[in-house]
Amino acid sequence: MTARSTAAATDENSSAIEIYRQLRGLIVSGQLGANERLPTVRQTAADFKVAQGTAAKAYKMLEQDGLVISRTAAGTRVADSAAVLPRSVIKKLRELVDEAVATNTDPHDVINVLRVILQTRSERAERHDEPVNLEQDA
């Protein structure tokens, strides 16, 4: 391998690692939920301005880590075991964020109210009280 081809291989590997890290971050942070479909390798390559083989290498790394499952004709999806939160919860969180943005609500207020609701629910569960009405907790 020449110095030039070694440099190209290094660039390809670093690009694949960068794509891997970004997609991994989306998965483990819950921004991509269980069974959510990732863009095609072709689309990812276009988005990152890299060769399709580089994008495919990143997807292979995600698959080897058990974060995604690739199936011919079905695409690449987030593995059930990789998701931090169930897809339904991710969907509701996204809806909450959209509603907060639409109403110009401070995101920190939303987070603080969520903490109060969770704390109240936790305290009631410890006392074995009746179920929590989320509207009353806020």
Closest Cα partner for 78 from 25, 130, 122? 25
Q: What is the CA radius of gyration of the chain?
A: 21
pLDDT band at 78 (very low <50, low <70, confident <90, very high): very high
Q: For the segment 85-95, what is each residue's pLDDT rounded down to a tens digit?
A: 777 887 888 89
pLDDT at 5: 39
Angle 3-28/52-64 helices, nearest 10 degrees?
50
pLDDT score for 91:
83
Tokens of 16: 């694949």
Say how far apart CA 29 and CA 133 lie, in whole Å.
28
In the prediction, which pLDDT does 11 show?
57
Q: Model-level pTM greater than 0.75?
A: no
